[in-house]
Amino acid sequence: MSNIQTHRVRTADGVKEVKLNVHTAEEIEQRAVAGPPASPAPPVTPSPAEVEDDDEQAAAAGTE
């Protein structure tokens, strides 16, 4: 569970209020253990040379 906190910060332009999204140590640990969300692997597209090799192998085996 995160927690929004407002803090006053002194800058060269004066005092400003900033909002911080504060997480508990348990939340941070859970995210570190879980790691980033997994992305699906990109589809593998054979190169034209690979396709030609497959055709030649099939022809040599008589299965084309």
Domain that holds residue 28: 1-34
| 11-59 pLDDT, tens digit each | 898 999 999 888 888 888 887 777 666 677 777 776 776 666 666 666 6
Tell me how many degrees the CA angle 18-21-27 measures, rounded to the nearest 5: 160
Note whether residue 6 is domain-resident. Answer: yes
Is residue 48 in some structural domain? no
Domain presence at residue 44: no
d(CA 14, CA 38): 43
2 within a domain of the structure (yes/no)? yes
Q: Total structural domains in the chain?
A: 1
Percent above pLDDT 70 for the chain: 59
Q: Is residue 51, in this structure, part of any structural domain at all?
A: no
In a domain, residue 52? The reply is: no
| pTM exceeds 0.75 | no
Residue 40 domain-assigned (yes or no): no
Distance of CA 1 to the CA centre of its chain: 22
Tell me the pLDDT tens digit for each residue of 46-64: 677 666 666 666 666 665 4
